[in-house]
Amino acid sequence: MISIPQTTSFILALATLLETALASDNGLALTPQMGWNTWNTFACNINEDTILGAAKALKKLKLDEYGYHYVVMDDCWSLHQRNATGYLQYDPVKFPKGIKHLADEIHALGLGFGMYSSAGRYTCGRYPGSLNFEEKDADLFAEWEVDYLKYDNCHNEGQSGTPLISYNRYEVMSRALNKTGRPILYSMCNWGEDSPWDWAPTIANSWRMSGDIVNVFDRYDDRCPCDDYICRLPGHHCSIMNIINKAAPLGQKAHTGAWNDLDMLEIGNDNLDYEEQKLHFSIWAMVKSPLIMGHDIMHTSKQTLEILTNKDIIDLSQGNWGVAYRSYKKEHSQLWLQDSKDKSGNIVVALINNGDKDDDFSIHFEDIFLDEWDRRKVGYQVTDLWTKEDLGVVKHKLKVKVKRHGIFVGKLAFAGDPNVKPKVKKYHAEPDEL
């Protein structure tokens, strides 16, 4: 028997400790995750048929070919009691063949399967939560071959209020998931409490940054009382514009494998008009939020499908683009920018008209090329990413018509003499690229 000196064994123990992992080391969500979740359409009325039906519809619509991969089962899948050895039990009426069978069927379609729990005593629907049962639950999820965990914040027994308290609670599940040995995408849902963008990137693949979304374009509602991202009561019934305004400064905190989650998509649900839905989808893609559909996918309209499958907009989420940022916010309009990460110097410009009438806007190059002054002097060829129209070469400013509650999203490509190509600043490196 070899005796290891005490210092060596201490170093070994330390090394083992440091090795215990971070969810962002799970190799997942290298681009923001895409998929579908049961909640916005079915709430608690889920069962094997609804979920498998949705998975098959996703496949039939070929949405997987656009990147929609995960089928996520939200709350209300379990029984109200753990079993005698402390494990969660699925509801055998809703899932007569069990969850593993459901996962197998979803995998057979080439899709990923998502599971739900809460970092609390109960889930939001008052089923047993995973707080203090993290390892047991993670093991069970891994045994069922789950690929994704949405992890909520209800009934957290007061374990919030400082970033460290929240971090510690969510980190336990991150560690438990890693310990299973199965790569499981970790989607934190703590509604932006205690500024998760500051501490979640090393433990999770995404974190919600606001209270729950509602399919309303822009309306104050006391159930979602905050206008700002620092918020003591995140709530729910947060409108599309409310979430966009909270998300605007947070893009700088996102990086590969670690994304701000603006909540599930309301595309294809009632109430939002065509323009509002295109605006919603564009900004979610540009800020690299997960793109998780929430509509009744088995009854997807042509218009809904058209929005959800706009390849140019999806590319802003999944392609070689940085995270979008806001150039200005006026009373009835906002300008958003998204830089290409390659050397082309291409830039995407999005003008939101949140006013109540169709309007004309001039977008000045001073507001587009914020840091690189010499780029304001040359011309750019402009393509509208929704109409696919070529708008020709523009200089100094770009004039656009934008419908009420609509958005213009245009790609600007340098169109000058290649010999006088203006210097393009190196793309601001993300933390994981340093």
Ligand X SMILES: *[C@@H]1O[C@H](CO)[C@@H](O)[C@H](O)[C@H]1NC(C)=O
Give catalytic residue positions: 152, 212
Which region, judged by CB under 6 A, interacts with ligand X, from 47-55, 60-68, 175-183, 325-333?
A: 175-183
Report, in Å, the least distance between residue 204 CB and ligand X: 12
Per-residue x/- track, 82-121, ligand X (CB under 6 A): -xxx-x----------------------------------
- 139 or 430: CB nearest ligand X: 139
Scanning residues 16 to 55, which ones bind ligand X (CB under 6 A)?
19, 21-22, 25-26
- 178 or 239: CB nearest ligand X: 178
Which region, judged by CB under 6 A, interacts with ligand X, from 79-87, 366-374, 380-388, 389-397?
A: 79-87
Q: Collapsing DSSP states into helix, strand and coil, what is residue 20?
A: coil
Member of 183, 225, 379, 422 binding ligand X (CB under 6 A): 183
Tokens of 174: 């991150």
What is the torsion angle, in degrees rounded to the nearest 10, for the CA atoms of residue 250, residue 255, residue 258 and residue 262? 30
Report, in Å, the least distance between residue 132 CB and ligand X: 16
- 133 or 259: CB nearest ligand X: 133
Number of residues lying near ligand X (CB under 6 A) = 14
Q: By CB under 6 A, is residue 123 in contact with ligand X?
A: no
Residue closest to 315 by CA, chosen among 409, 188, 413: 409
Its sign, for the CA torsion 363, 369, 370, 373, is negative
Strands 291-293 and 325-329, sheet pairing? unpaired
Q: By CB under 6 A, is residue 140 in contact with ligand X?
A: yes
Q: By CB under 6 A, is residue 181 in contact with ligand X?
A: yes
Task: Give the residue at shortest CB distance from ligand X.
Answer: 21
Q: What is the secondary structure of 251-315 as a DSSP string?
A: GGG-BTTBEEE-----TTSSS--HHHHHHHHHHHHHTT--EEE-S-GGG--HHHHHHHT-HHHHH
Scanning residues 193 to 232, which ones bind ligand X (CB under 6 A)?
none
Q: Where do the DSSP E strands lie in 144-272?
A: 148-152, 185-188, 206-208, 259-261
- 21 or 394: CB nearest ligand X: 21
Quote the CA–CA distance of 298 and 88 in Å, as a whole number: 29
Residue 250 contacts residue 244 (beta carbons within 8 Å): no
- 66 or 87: CB nearest ligand X: 87
Spatial CB neighbours of 166, under 8 Å, sequence gap ≥ 6: 159, 160, 190, 193, 194, 196, 199
Site residues for ligand X per CB under 6 A: 19, 21-22, 25-26, 83-85, 87, 140, 178, 181-183
